[in-house]
């Protein structure tokens, strides 16, 4: 029988996205491009593993180095001191992705990039945020992240003074945390339009428990340096 996509080459593998059998070439070319590949597809998982082994992460976009915010230094000391913040913001992303299953890596990356640009402007010039993205899905993600930042600040305010030497959360800390997560996302996504590798990574860090997503306090120390 012929491939369900090209209808020319011989089919050799079952495609759960097509609910039919396709050839390896179409699988490789259309995976996460035109095909909404389920996260448990063995061929998708194999491709992700091979990409990780060869250490060739691709940017979800034009591959511009500026997208990584190279001027923002994120040290290991910062990761240690602000682990809870990073986990909290990552949790907010996972929560957004679970609420809207149509979201893909590019959506999370775009929202993170927009937020990082806003905080960079705030840190460098004390100006109010740059105009928000016009994309409604990205706005929703950004609101979830901002809500987490607000809750983190409020929680910190309640405990301020209780912990000697406890540092108040600065906008520059939020910027560094956002940039770290953004780099992690860019390092994990395949860069294809429908890639959900970063989304699946977040889901693995914050699994559902009794139909509710586990909070960052349940994640333990799960920061993975990209």
Q: What is the pTM of this model?
A: 0.83
Judge whether 179 and 196 are in contact, CB under 8 Å. no
Per-residue model confidence as pLDDT tens digits over 129-164: 555 667 899 999 999 999 999 999 888 877 655 444
pLDDT of residue 54: 66
Residue 203 has pLDDT above 90, yes or no: yes
- Per the DSSP assignment, residues forming a β-bridge with 208 are 213
Task: With beta carbons less than 8 A apart as the criterion, state whether 20 and 14 touch.
Answer: yes
For residue 196, pLDDT over 80 is answered with yes
Tokens, residue 204: 């693995």
Average pLDDT over every residue of 184-209: 92
**What is the predicted pLDDT for the residue at 61?**
46
Give the tens place of pLDDT for each residue, 12-26.
Answer: 999 999 999 999 999
Residue 198: name the closest of 112, 75, 126, 82 by CA.
112
Number of C-alpha atoms within 13 angstroms, CB side, residue 33? 6
Residue 182's closest CA among 95, 85, 103, 115? Answer: 115
Tens of pLDDT along 1-53?
A: 899 999 999 999 999 999 999 999 999 999 999 999 999 999 999 998 888 76
All structural domains of the chain with their residue ranges:
1-56, 61-218
Sequence-ordered alpha helix ranges (H) in 65-214: 76-81, 83-99, 105-125, 136-159, 171-188, 197-205
């Amino acid at each position: 029988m012929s491939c369900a996509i090209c209808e020319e080459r011989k089919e050799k593998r079952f495609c759960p996205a097509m609910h039919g059998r396709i050839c390896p070439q179409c699988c490789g070319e259309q995976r996460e491009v035109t095909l909404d590949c389920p996260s448990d597809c063995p061929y998708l998982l194999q491709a992700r593993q091979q990409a990780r082994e060869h250490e060739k992460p691709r940017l979800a976009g034009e591959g511009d180095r500026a997208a990584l915010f190279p001027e923002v230094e994120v040290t290991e000391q910062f990761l240690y001191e602000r682990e809870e913040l990073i986990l909290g913001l990552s949790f907010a992303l996972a929560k957004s992705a679970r609420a809207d299953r149509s979201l893909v890596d590019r959506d999370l990356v775009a929202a993170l990039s927009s937020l990082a640009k806003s905080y960079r402007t705030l840190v460098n010039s004390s100006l109010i945020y740059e105009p928000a993205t016009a994309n409604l899905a990205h706005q929703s993600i950004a609101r979830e992240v901002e809500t987490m930042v607000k809750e983190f600040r409020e929680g910190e305010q309640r405990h301020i003074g209780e912990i000697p030497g406890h540092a108040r959360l600065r906008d520059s800390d939020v910027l560094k945390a956002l940039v770290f997560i953004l780099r992690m996302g860019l390092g994990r996504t395949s860069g294809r339009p429908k890639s959900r590798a970063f989304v699946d990574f977040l889901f693995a860090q914050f699994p559902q428990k009794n139909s509710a997503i586990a909070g960052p306090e349940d994640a333990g120390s799960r920061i993975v340096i990209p």
